[in-house]
Amino acid sequence: MNRSRIYVVGTADTKGDELNYLAAEVAAAGGDPVRVDVGTSAPLGPVEIGRGEVASHGGAAAAQALASGDRGRAVAAMADAFAAFIRSRGDVSGVVGIGGGGGTSIVTAGMRELPLGLPKVMVSTLASGNVAPYVDVSDIMMMPAITDMAGLNRISRTVLRNAARAVVSMAQAPSLPGGDLPAIGLTMFGVTTPCVTAIAAQLRHDYDCLVFHATGTGGRTMEKLVDSRLLSGVIDITTTEVCDLLCGGVLSAGEGRLDAIARTNVPYVGSAGALDMVNFWAPDTLPERYRSRTLYRHNPNVTLMRTSPEECSRIGRWIGEKLNACEGPVIFLIPEKGVSALDIEGGAFFDPEADRALFSAIESAVRPTGARQVRRLPLHINDPLFAEAAVAAFREIA
């Protein structure tokens, strides 16, 4: 069996003993350890890749920050440099890092740049708290250090040995069966579930259908998989995260939504699913300026606000401009009879004027090409015929 190359990363200026012990345990577990120093001052022990080499990937800005004596600036600069460094490496089978506050920030910045599925274990004194800023939409495994990393002891040795065994075992694990089908990403909300469920059912024999809940994290995770080349196509029925971005809701996927589609040219079928709503938490959290709007209490903790014609125009233009950056095959489907389970005749969010504004803005903004099309369908988004049309459109371009 080939020995997996495991990058063992930490701040060798403060965690030299721990770094060396962890590397030795990686070797004992059958891995090939490469110690990487991401510290901001002189190391306390030997490493294979020094902080200077890492910092060189951050350019002059990193050098200036490290020389400034300002720890905050130096940590931020080294985080950026390590992210650029790890992106440049083609021999990484897995990464295991150790750190307190600064080290965790630096190491996880690089881990987040790596493809999903590549093993990433972070032993951190922060792992029992809110780790969202460090993990984001990646698959980093956060492992509590239990004791502070201020010298080896019986607890820290146990934790580090377990981390070493974990990362080596993950790196050497055989591929899962069933990976012969190409994977595609689909986005869904409760109000578009009938449509997406029907699409997945029709495609499941030919594709591994990965459905993402469009709650901000879902859209970003899907696009992370697109960037990692783990998805061979996207059926983005539910683009509702754009509403939250532009209208101040709580489930935004950020300004980067749809950028991975443009970067990769992956086949893309999109639609206007749930563009009739902006998400907020409990009613008392609603911004004052929205209190008089059309609202729907989804549950005690989630309040939905109907998008206005003006907001729909802005949302449609934003989506259209993003699609114009896509050079790969794109078909965007407009469901003329409603975009969600609430946007239907007699429904709480039925508003033909707002829908017309949305659809017109999308059509006006998108620049059609041979590969980029907008198609209107005289159907509701949850009509079984709409699901069939989405499947047909995907098969046309995939």
What is the reported pLDDT for 167? 98
pLDDT at 61: 87
Query: Residue 1 — very low, low, confident or very high, per pLDDT cuts 50/70/90?
Result: very low
Model confidence at 67: pLDDT above 70: yes
Record the pTM.
Answer: 0.86
pLDDT single digits (tens) 285-328: 999 999 999 999 999 999 999 999 999 999 999 999 999 999 99
Whether 178 has a pLDDT exceeding 60, the answer reads no
Of 50-59, 156-165, 172-181, give the lowest mean pLDDT range.
172-181
As a whole number of angstroms, the distance between CA 213 and CA 266 comes to 20
pLDDT of residue 69: 84
Give the mean pLDDT of 193-207. 98
Looking at residue 3, its pLDDT comes to 79
Distance CA(211)–CA(345), nearest Å, equals 28
Dihedral sign, CA of 194, 198, 204, 209?
negative
pLDDT, tens digit, 9 for 90 and up, residues 95-134: 999 999 999 999 999 999 999 999 999 999 999 999 999 9
Average pLDDT, the chain: 96
Task: State mean pLDDT over 202-206.
Answer: 97
Statement: residue 282 has pLDDT above 80: yes
For 343-381, how does the pLDDT look when each residue is reduced to its tens digit (9 = 90+)? 999 999 999 999 999 999 999 999 999 999 999 999 999
Give the per-residue pLDDT at 66: 86
Among 249, 252, 253, 273, CA closest to 261: 253
Q: What is the DSSP string of 25-52?
A: HHHHTT-EEEEEE--SS--SS--SB-HH
Average pLDDT over residues 41-57: 94
Output helix, strand, coil percentages for the chain, rounded to the nearest 5. 40, 20, 40
Q: What is the pLDDT of residues 130-174, one digit of tens each?
A: 999 999 999 999 999 999 988 899 999 999 999 999 999 999 998
- Summarize pLDDT for 229-263 with one digit per residue, the tens: 999 999 999 999 999 999 999 999 999 999 999 99
| pLDDT bracket for residue 2 (50, 70, 90) | low
Distance CA 214, CA 288 (A): 25
The tokens describing 305, both together, are 């606000």
pLDDT at 177: 61
What domains, with CATH codes, occur in the chain? 5-172 (3.40.50.12020), 183-397 (3.40.50.12030)
How far from 209 is each of 173, 182, 203, 347, CA to CA, in Å? 23, 9, 7, 30
Q: How far is CA 330 from CA 86, 260, 271, 393, in A?
A: 32, 13, 11, 9
